Amino acid sequence: MVESEMELPVRVVQITDTHLFRDPHAALLKLNTQDSFEKVMELVIQNERDIDVVLGTGDIAQDASREAYLRFAQAMQPLKAPFYWIPGNHDRRQVMETLAPFEHAFTNLITFGKWQIVLLDSSVAGEVHGRLHERELQHLERSLRAVQQHPQVEHVMVCLHHNPVDGTAGWMSGIGLHNQDEFLAIIERHACVRAVLYGHIHQELDFERQGVRYLCTPSTCIQFKPQVQDFTLDDVNPAYRTLLLQPDGRIDTQVIRVTGHAFEVDHTSTGY
């Protein structure tokens, strides 16, 4: 658990699905993921000031290599803000946890003034889909119940990698959170939850369900086209998300995309 007395609002930057490789010249569906990541980071450095926390919400590496995780962590340093990450389906937590200079990056609870951020590990070794282990569900339930007794915290944002609601394309069936009903049941019985933040499906989403805001953020590399049946890449550019967590529970958020650069991707691909 990490606790801060910093004044609200809380300024959050989310970076997700970077899919970095051991080899910085490697490409995913023709797109050099290191290059696209660097262009997103240049934009973050250019635009963002006084960041309170950076959240890396999974699929940091495509090949789960130590070198890829180190490059991601080192790229966070110019932001001069603490960063925390959770594993996605391409990641290996045991590798991420061995990075001695960045052990602080693994935590499951962050408190900033009136806000609590809960981080969940939805990864399943060797599988594309996600599932929250019983320990993760217990951590979520316990954290949300504790808010009722906390003298200061009133609002919660929950973060995980996998989409906890159905994806927006036919081919996405089965790759999301497999025990989504258990997750949603916990979320929906705690009025303190304001938002659920995730990645995995490489696109921008912002919708409300049972009074809770669900926010999906684009990848820093390839993008998946919504509302299609078969695997299709989108033409929109890589991006990151900013969130301003207000003391009254409101969230001001924006997805900011790289502009002025055309990225080559393999539009003939039927998957990856």
The C-alpha angle with vertex 234 and arms to 59 and 242, in degrees rounded to 5, equals: 55
Q: 15-30 pLDDT, tens per residue?
A: 999 999 999 999 999 9
107 pLDDT above the threshold of 80 = yes
Looking at residue 215, its pLDDT comes to 98
CB atoms within 10 A of CB 195: 21
Banded model confidence at residue 3, pLDDT cuts 50, 70, 90: low
CATH number of this structure's domain 2-257: 3.60.21.10
Looking at residue 5, its pLDDT comes to 47
User: What mean pLDDT comes out for the span 90-115?
Assistant: 91
Q: 165-182 pLDDT, tens per residue?
A: 999 999 999 999 999 999
Closest C-alpha to 267, from 226, 229, 205, 223: 223
Looking at residue 1, its pLDDT comes to 60
Banded model confidence at residue 148, pLDDT cuts 50, 70, 90: confident
Q: Among all chains, which residue has been given the structure tokens 């003298």?
A: 151
Handedness of CA 9, 1, 179, 17 (dihedral sign): positive
**Phi, psi of 213, rounded to the nearest 5 degrees:** -90, 130
Q: 220-236 pLDDT, tens per residue?
A: 999 999 999 999 999 99
Q: 178-194 pLDDT, tens per residue?
A: 999 999 999 999 999 99
Q: Where are the domains of the chain?
A: 2-257
Rg over alpha carbons for the chain, rounded to the nearest Å, is 17
Banded model confidence at residue 270, pLDDT cuts 50, 70, 90: confident
pTM (two decimals) = 0.95
